[in-house]
Chain A
Amino acid sequence: MVSLWLVALLGAAPEFRVHELPFVQASGEGVRKYMPGTMGGGLAVFDFDGDGRKDLFFANGAELPSLAKSSPKFFNRLYRNEGGGKFVDVTEGSGLKQIGYAMGAAAGDYDGDGKQDLAVLGVGFIHLYRNLGGGKFGYSELPNAGRWAYSAAWADLDQDGDLDLFVVNYVKWTAAGDRACVVEGKPDYCHPRFYGASANQLFENLGGGKLKDVSVESGVARAEGKGMGVAVGDFDGNGLPDLFVTNDRMLNLLFLNQGKLKFEERAFEWGVAAPADGKSPSAMGSVAFDYNRDGKLDLVYTALRDETFPLYRNTGKELVEAGLETGLARLTRSMAGWGIAAVDFDRDGWPDLIAARSDALSVSGGKGTVAREPLGLFWNRAGKRFELGSELKSEARMYRWLAAADLNGDGCEDVVVTALDAPALWIEVVCK
């Protein structure tokens, strides 16, 4: 009887079934470790054909240092979800261009025609794919001045009823300017300090399928960074979506939305520029979620080993570090993470966390295979503490990014996760 009560209190852990998907990310890594080789693996989960099932788009790498998609293994891929765990490659004829080293993707119906469109980010480009229907996409480019566009979010930032696009830019990098670095005697990826910072970009949706670069006038171009992830949410409670940008070993940015597409950067004042100890971590993926269900949006992001996955509790006036009080700091101290999502897997009403883990260094580098890690699952215990979940069995890989969505239509959110030079995984969450 007691155990039944406990189960009811804690929620029932679901069954996790791990399936390999047909997509294999190609990083292009060779002996020389060109920076993009460790950064890829972005994806988007969206219903491109309007059949009610979530489909998959994978941004893929390229040959290095040429950045050319010189082989089909580097092609970006679109998979139609046909149900029953079947994903069919429908890239051919879709109009998705096979150009450059793609890093990330974001889906959203920016032209308001009811069909999900796609922005694909990469080294030196922002590609915009307008969903024409029938599995076809119209291609255009957004200006980015050769920057390394890394991730993006569609959101109605000016509350005018259409989706604007915020693009996170990473370091200033060119193949010619790539540094050769060595870690414990072997070629490996360089620390981001060797490369300059970039400003992020904001594109206002003018309607009629037109996007205008308003980075400067909106204020987002004022602060530079080495951006990786973006979390959108109303952190200050003024009813407008704000933008939190994680930066790689630089101060994070919090753009508070002042209305009319004007933003003020307030990461320091809100306590999220860097952890209290002042050490800017390799902040990677982030997610805004209300972990303690107090009605205010909290924040968590991943980072590398010794940096923990910092968790912040929103007091309404600032975001205060909550990693120690919830135990998440202790759990994640020895972990490295990239993508992170908040999903209430056990349906107890408290959002849990899942993280795509692995180091930024290469498995062929000086530190070797310790760079590989398994996926990380963290149970949210009533908003008070996090516990490490052991229910999700995954082998150690170079996991990179993930997205949560109900792929099998059973009402429970699943997770799709990518890994460098390995098949993407569908973590099927079987409802209980």
Chain B
Amino acid sequence: MIWVLLILLAQADVARDAMRMGRYEEAAKLYVALAKQYPQDFMIRYNAGLAYYSAKKYAAALAEMKTFLKSQPASAQGNLIAGAAMLKLGQACPSLPYFERAKTLESLPEYLEQRAEAEAACGHHAEAARWFELMTQKQPKNSRGWYGLGLARNAEGNEAAAKAAFERLTLLGPSPELRRLERDVARGLWKAGRFAEARDALLRVKGLGLNEAALEYELGDCHEKLDGPEPALPFYRAAVRLDPKLLSAQAALGRALVTLKLPIEAIPHLEIAAMANIDKSLWLALANAYRAVGRNQDARVALQKAR
């Protein structure tokens, strides 16, 4: 009997070491193997769930944690991880009972953030605001709290409170949340057709240190909406340089180049975008480019695909 316990302890040590070293998936597999050997030890399930969650394998984490909660339904930690995993899986509303059962942990910043996010994602804006507010009280320098609070207040229709929260966020200085806020603002302005303001908001995002293909593409798009393809070109080029797989940027660059009567340069970009079948009209742009360089047979084939 003792040797069984010793083996268990040894295996648990290996799993614990893997966890400590950040090899979460390996740790999870070890815990799962242990759990099969020792099904009566519910804490192994908990550890497996925690390891999967740390490895961002949320579906597996949830399954392990649910198994654990069968034997320990009141476990605050278990409920918190299960709720957080559900939130990550997009099951915000079903996650709320789990967070409710973990409420004894509400003094923890992690709890506050997860709960607030879940309430917000479930459309409970007033509740979300309440939890984000608690979060900002506990951690006034946590930009996530102010950002979430601003969004929740805005969703409630309380624009003044939203503005105040966003101002606090701005005062904290550059953060991923501030970038997200400026990006949200830019998208809202873009949607409203206020392209100059959208461009300025995106430039502020860039000023916050974001160097991202999608951002360059959006900047190019704003420039194109305002002044045509020529001023957009450097942004589209930058977007494609940063991420050649960003098809929207490949398409926009190809379209801009063919409009600017640079068909030879446009063709490779249009070919990439057209072949991904994201928009039939890209075949037409490609057909126009082929026609412009005298590749008439290719133009006819592309035209057929555009029709």
Interface residues of chain A, those whose CB is within 8 Å of chain B, are 251, 268-269, 271, 273-280, 305-306, 321, 324, 329-330, 333, 370
Within the complex, the shortest CB–CB distance from A65 to chain B, in Å, comes to 31
**Centre residue among B261, B288, B306 by max chain A CB count within 10 A:** B288
Interface residues on B, range: 20 to 34
With contacts A276-B285, A278-B282 taken as known, whether A306 is within 8 angstroms of B227 at the C-beta atoms is no
* A329 and B228 contacting across the interface, CB-CB below 8 Å: yes
Chain A residues within 8 Å of B134, by CB? none
* A274 and B284 contacting across the interface, CB-CB below 8 Å: yes
* B259 and A275 contacting across the interface, CB-CB below 8 Å: yes
Within the complex, the shortest CB–CB distance from A267 to chain B, in Å, comes to 10
User: What separation, in Å, do the CA atoms of A78 and B259 have in the docked complex?
Assistant: 44
* A278 and B255 contacting across the interface, CB-CB below 8 Å: yes
List 6 A–B pairs whose Cβ atoms lie within 8 Å, in order of A's numbering.
Answer: A251-B306, A276-B255, A276-B258, A278-B281, A330-B228, A370-B193
User: What separation, in Å, do the CA atoms of A279 and B280 have in the docked complex?
Assistant: 9
Within 8 A of A (CB), among B214-255: 225-230, 255
With contacts A278-B284, A278-B285 taken as known, whether A324 is within 8 angstroms of B259 at the C-beta atoms is yes
Other than the given A268-B303, A277-B288, A279-B285, 11 more pairs (CB < 8 A) read: A271-B288, A273-B284, A274-B284, A276-B255, A277-B256, A277-B285, A278-B284, A278-B285, A278-B287, A330-B228, A333-B227
Chain A residues within 8 Å of B299, by CB? 268
Chain A residues within 8 Å of B285, by CB? 276-279
User: What separation, in Å, do the CA atoms of A271 and B291 have in the docked complex?
Assistant: 9
User: What separation, in Å, do the CA atoms of A273 and B284 have in the docked complex?
Assistant: 9
Chain A residues within 8 Å of B259, by CB? 275-277, 321, 324
Within 8 A of A (CB), among B258-307: 258-261, 281-289, 291-292, 299, 303, 306-307
With contacts A268-B291, A273-B284, A324-B260 taken as known, whether A330 is within 8 angstroms of B255 at the C-beta atoms is no
User: What separation, in Å, do the CA atoms of A378 and B257 have in the docked complex?
Assistant: 27
User: What separation, in Å, do the CA atoms of A278 and B273 have in the docked complex?
Assistant: 12
Within the complex, the shortest CB–CB distance from A312 to chain B, in Å, comes to 13
Chain A residues within 8 Å of B256, by CB? 277
* B227 and A330 contacting across the interface, CB-CB below 8 Å: yes
Chain A residues within 8 Å of B291, by CB? 268-269, 271
**Centre residue among A271, A279, A329 by max chain B CB count within 10 A:** A279
Chain B residues within 8 Å of A370, by CB? 193
With contacts A275-B259, A276-B258, A278-B282 taken as known, whether A324 is within 8 angstroms of B288 at the C-beta atoms is no
In the complex formed, the residue of B with least CB distance to A370 is B193
Chain B residues within 8 Å of A274, by CB? 281, 284, 288
* B225 and A306 contacting across the interface, CB-CB below 8 Å: yes
In the complex formed, the residue of B with least CB distance to A321 is B259
In the complex formed, the residue of A with least CB distance to B191 is A184
User: What separation, in Å, do the CA atoms of A271 and B285 have in the docked complex?
Assistant: 11
User: What separation, in Å, do the CA atoms of A176 and B225 have in the docked complex?
Assistant: 37
Chain A residues within 8 Å of B286, by CB? 278
In the complex formed, the residue of B with least CB distance to A269 is B291
In the complex formed, the residue of B with least CB distance to A249 is B281
**Which residue of B225, B227, B260, B288 is within 8 Å of A278 (Cβ)?**
B288
Q: Which are the 7 A-B pairs with shortest beta-carbon distances?
A: A278-B285, A278-B284, A277-B255, A278-B281, A276-B258, A276-B259, A276-B288
Within 8 A of A (CB), among B165-222: 193
Within the complex, the shortest CB–CB distance from B264 to chain A, in Å, comes to 13
Chain B residues within 8 Å of A277, by CB? 229, 255-256, 258-259, 281, 285, 288
Chain B residues within 8 Å of A329, by CB? 228
In the complex formed, the residue of A with least CB distance to B303 is A268
Chain B residues within 8 Å of A275, by CB? 259
In the complex formed, the residue of B with least CB distance to A308 is B228
* B258 and A324 contacting across the interface, CB-CB below 8 Å: no
**Centre residue among B255, B281, B303 by max chain A CB count within 10 A:** B281
Chain A residues within 8 Å of B307, by CB? 251
* B228 and A278 contacting across the interface, CB-CB below 8 Å: no
* B228 and A333 contacting across the interface, CB-CB below 8 Å: yes
In the complex formed, the residue of A with least CB distance to B283 is A278
Chain B residues within 8 Å of A273, by CB? 284
User: What separation, in Å, do the CA atoms of A293 and B230 have in the docked complex?
Assistant: 27
User: What separation, in Å, do the CA atoms of A267 and B303 have in the docked complex?
Assistant: 12
User: What separation, in Å, do the CA atoms of A111 and B199 have in the docked complex?
Assistant: 59
In the complex formed, the residue of A with least CB distance to B270 is A278
**Centre residue among A268, A269, A277, A306 by max chain B CB count within 10 A:** A277
Within the complex, the shortest CB–CB distance from A273 to chain B, in Å, comes to 7
Chain A residues within 8 Å of B261, by CB? 276, 321
With contacts A268-B287, A271-B288, A329-B228 taken as known, whether A279 is within 8 angstroms of B260 at the C-beta atoms is no
